[in-house]
Structure 1
Amino acid sequence: MRSELLRTLLEQVDNRADGTAQRDAIVVWLALLGKFSPLIGPGSVNVLFMRSVEVNRAAFAWLPPIALDGAGGAHFSAFETVLKTQPSEEVMRATRALLGTFIDSLFTLIGPALTAKFVGSAVGDKRDQKK
């Protein structure tokens, strides 16, 4: 289920070299953060996002340092700024890793079924609407 969710999310990110991947990745993150905030609270969503960044910093040294200080919006802005400076291939690699960590955290917190439902809804997954 994890790989299917990642594939669904990554299909939303275009890997062209014209900055589209950067923009699309940000749109996906904003959709996820917005969709999960009412369910688990904006603070919890921000912590999961910040944890995803922090866990993957060793592999992507350009990711901004994160302090779990409750300043989620500021951290997302820093992430957005640095993401825009990276090549599309690097954005795709980092997006896959960050989303994987985020999904794993959601699986632990709310379970795979609810995670899948909300992820599908966040990206407008039409398959979820048929169930």
Structure 2
Amino acid sequence: MNDFTLDPRLESDTFPLADLPLCRVLLMNDSRYPWAILVPRHDGISEVFELSDTDQATLWREATQLGNVMKTLFEGDKLNIATLGNVVSQLHVHVVVRHRTDATWPAPVWGNGSPEPYALEPLASLRDQLIAHIDRLNV
């Protein structure tokens, strides 16, 4: 995979977890939700259709497999998978586990309330859990 540059906003709002065959997996620094972001490691891509057919299929496979792991791990009621790109144009896919009891249910997580950054110890534990499961993905 070629080198790529992560958008500064994504870099400042997330923690790196792992690299899958196509995407870098990031953890959003908002403890209100189990929230990962997948970023295809290609520079200059802002839309899914700009990826090759093979990479489009890989992106969807990585997003759905990661979502399945996260929904199971965090016992979610719903899984949200979305691309927005209105603030950060670099193509990225949000994978968010939702609970009926979470801070903004049933509204979207985007633009609702203020992020609550992780405390150091829970962050380390969460990252370890996610990394262990990501390493077992069959992508």
TM-score scaled by structure 1?
Answer: 0.39
Q: Between Structure 1 and Structure 2, which shows a larger proportion of helix residues?
A: 1
Structure scoring higher RCO (CA < 8 A, sep ≥ 6) equals 1
Q: Between Structure 1 and Structure 2, which shows a larger proportion of strand residues?
A: 2
TM-score scaled by structure 2?
Answer: 0.38
